[in-house]
Amino acid sequence: MLPFSLVYHDGFYLPLGAHVFPGEKYRLVHERLLTTGAAAESDFIRPQTIALEDVLRVHERGYVERLIDGTLSEEEILQMELPYSKALVDATLLGCGGTLEAARLALRNGAACCLGGGFHHAHPDHGEGFCILHDVAIALARLLHDRAIERAMVIDLDVHDGNGTAAIFPPAGEHRRGSLQYGVASGSMMPSTEGVFTLSMHHQNNYPAYKPPSSLDVPLADGTDDAEYMEALEHALDAAFAHFRPQLIAYVAGADPYVEDKLGGLALTIDGLKQRDRTVFRAAQSVGAPVFSVYAGGYAMRVEDTVTIHANTVLAAAEVFSFHGATSC
Ligand SMILES: [Zn+2]
């Protein structure tokens, strides 16, 4: 049995038809963890769909109503880059519920992994880049509202910049540009007024074209490999924790920094990505902050590789938290 819970529901499946986003990946990761014995049925918690009032703490009412009623404009649907359906909206609402459940479990037990979520490109008034509602922001906004936490950090290691997160939680303070060299951080190093510190380490020459400032941005060059990535990550985590001590960490563990990703541009191996996951979990443990992970993107040539990378996030958490136990503030 794992020393933390996994959050999963068959309803996470995104009905996208033929699409670069493998909508079945959540089910495949669930199956992989069970068939390999990495997890048991008793490790899983089934979430409930998110409440509308939680969604509306982050998203504009008009947009949410159009999304639910099926009255989005053609332009809004094009910007989502997903085939609109009521089933897609329901799956996303359930995914948001999963992320909130994982955040609560992390606060209770020190760690949790959600086998879904990470819709980090969603903005308050529109969806984009395969994301229609921002699950992580919705979960954090709810916990901040409940005063369950006052300070949270989002560590976003998807290959694409976390533009929605930065738009929802814009950092206070003056944005300081780092040097123009890749791998050099920039940002105000301050949280948003709500108390959310955003760290985005991403491939610079990639979607989205406009990258709003995070508290800390770490742009990476084309073809960044495992060693270069790990060095940048360790510096970024050290810098972030030197400036901010979160009471909860949301880890956006995108599988798309992988060398064989169709929408990537970095050159991480499967082992390198697992090392990345371990590093984040260890860092969370070392500052005594509960952490939960969500999946975000993953578009490997072979869907099995995406599944392996996502399953490894759970294995990495198990390695880190089995030896020393999950910590809690
Ligand atoms: Zn991505």
Please tell me the distance between residue 202's alpha carbon and the centre of ligand 1 in angstroms: 9
- Would 208 be classed as within a structural domain? yes
* 46 within a domain of the structure (yes/no): yes
- Give tens-digit pLDDT for 297-323: 999 999 999 999 999 999 999 999 996
What is the Cα–Cα distance from 205 to 161, expressed in whole angstroms?
Answer: 10
What local confidence, expressed as pLDDT, does residue 186 receive? 84
Short-list 252, 152, 238, CA closest to 202:
252
Question: So what's the pLDDT on residue 173?
Answer: 84
What is the 147 CA–ligand 1 centroid distance (Å)? 31
In a domain, 116, yes or no: yes
Distance 313 CA to ligand 1 centre (A): 16
195 in a structural domain: yes
Alpha carbon of 123 to ligand 1 centroid (Å) = 15
The pLDDT of residue 180:
42
- Split into its structural domains, the chain has a count of 1
Tokens matching residue 238: 């050290």
Q: Does the residue 270 lie in any domain?
A: yes
Q: What is the pLDDT of residues 272-293, one digit of tens each?
A: 999 999 999 999 999 999 999 9
Is the dihedral angle over the CA atoms 132, 134, 138, 141 positive or is it negative? Answer: negative
Ligand 1 centroid vs 97 CA: distance in angstroms? Answer: 21
Range of the domain at 89: 5-324
Q: How far apart are CA 159 and CA 138, in angstroms?
A: 22
Residue 329 lies in a domain: no
Q: For position 183, which CATH number holds?
A: 3.40.800.20
Within-domain flag for 183? yes
The residue with tokens 């929605």 is 164
| Stretches in the chain below the pLDDT threshold 70 | 178-184, 323-329
The whole-model pTM stands at 0.96
Distance 118 CA to ligand 1 centre (A): 9
| Residue 13 domain flag | yes
